[in-house]
């Protein structure tokens, strides 16, 4: 890292005083070195480290809200990001030492990464990106923003196509999920076994490429809206 980093120190925002910063890297020198720089930047800053996805999950589940700084060179960094982003305590995942090509960054964004710092990024840039994540913002250049917008549009189209592939019965199940019904209530309404409803839900989530019932219901709403437009 550049030797002049400490000369232009910038503290993280006040909100971060109640926020852990978790540095995840398979390289001990990287994670310990970055953690020391961050702790030096603000004496009260709560900085933790993890060397793997499992360690990172355990850490975020044992503390308060957390901003995760993920070394993109860590094996299966995308998979680690995908596991971390749904965690309630995670305020954002920022990938550092990221390749400069847009496809690599879009791939990470699809896994939930909300900020990027390139291989030659500075500590000041990392802090600015962290600041943006704390405020729910994506800190990126215009070319990446445009690529993300195109990818989101493509994903939306793909999701609509997937809803079209659902059977009529599967759409009925999702429609009732959208009405707030439990599996048991759906079984009663459709006059089918509870196990059948659960089986339908398993196939629905798989076909739509989602993990939650609410996501399936949202996909159906978008599909119906597009069909009526």
Superfamily of domain 153-228: Response regulator (3.40.50.2300)
pTM: 0.58
- pLDDT per residue as tens, the chain (229 positions): 343 333 333 444 444 445 688 999 999 999 999 988 888 765 446 889 999 999 999 999 987 878 999 999 999 898 999 899 889 889 889 989 887 777 777 777 778 888 888 888 888 888 888 887 777 766 666 665 666 656 565 555 566 667 778 888 998 999 999 999 999 999 999 999 999 999 999 999 988 888 888 888 888 887 777 666 5
Q: Which long-range contacts (CB under 8 A, 24 or more apart) does 108-115 make?
A: 108/72, 108/77, 108/78, 108/81, 109/148, 109/151, 110/151, 110/155, 111/78, 111/79, 111/81, 111/82, 111/85, 112/81, 112/82, 112/84, 112/85, 112/86, 113/70, 113/81, 113/85, 114/138, 115/139, 115/140
**Residue 93: phi, psi to the nearest 5?**
-115, 125
Pairing of strands 90-98, 113-118: parallel
Where do the structural domains in the chain lie, given as residue ranges?
5-140, 153-228
**With respect to CATH, is domain 5-140 assigned 3.40.50.2300?**
yes
């Amino acid at each position: 890292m550049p030797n002049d980093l400490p000369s232009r120190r910038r503290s993280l925002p006040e909100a971060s005083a109640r926020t852990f910063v978790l540095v995840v890297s398979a390289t001990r020198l990287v994670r310990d070195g970055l953690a020391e720089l961050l702790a030096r930047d603000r004496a009260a800053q709560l900085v933790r480290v993890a060397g793997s996805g499992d360690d990172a999950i355990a850490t975020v589940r044992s503390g308060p809200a957390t901003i995760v700084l993920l070394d993109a060179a860590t094996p299966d960094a995308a998979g680690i990001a995908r596991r971390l982003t749904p965690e309630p305590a995670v305020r954002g995942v920022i990938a550092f030492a990221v390749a400069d090509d847009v496809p690599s960054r879009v791939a990470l964004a699809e896994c939930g990464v909300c900020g990027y710092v390139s291989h030659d990024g500075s500590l000041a840039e990392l802090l600015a990106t962290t600041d943006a994540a704390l405020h729910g913002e994506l800190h990126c250049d215009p070319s990446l923003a445009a690529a993300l917008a195109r990818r989101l549009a493509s994903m939306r189209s793909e999701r609509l196509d997937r809803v079209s592939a659902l059977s009529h019965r599967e759409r009925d199940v999702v429609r009732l999920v959208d009405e707030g019904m439990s599996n048991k209530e759906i079984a009663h309404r459709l006059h089918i076994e509870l196990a059948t409803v659960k089986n339908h839900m398993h196939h629905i989530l798989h076909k739509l490429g989602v993990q939650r019932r609410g996501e399936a219901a949202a996909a159906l709403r978008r599909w119906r809206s597009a069909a009526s437009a």
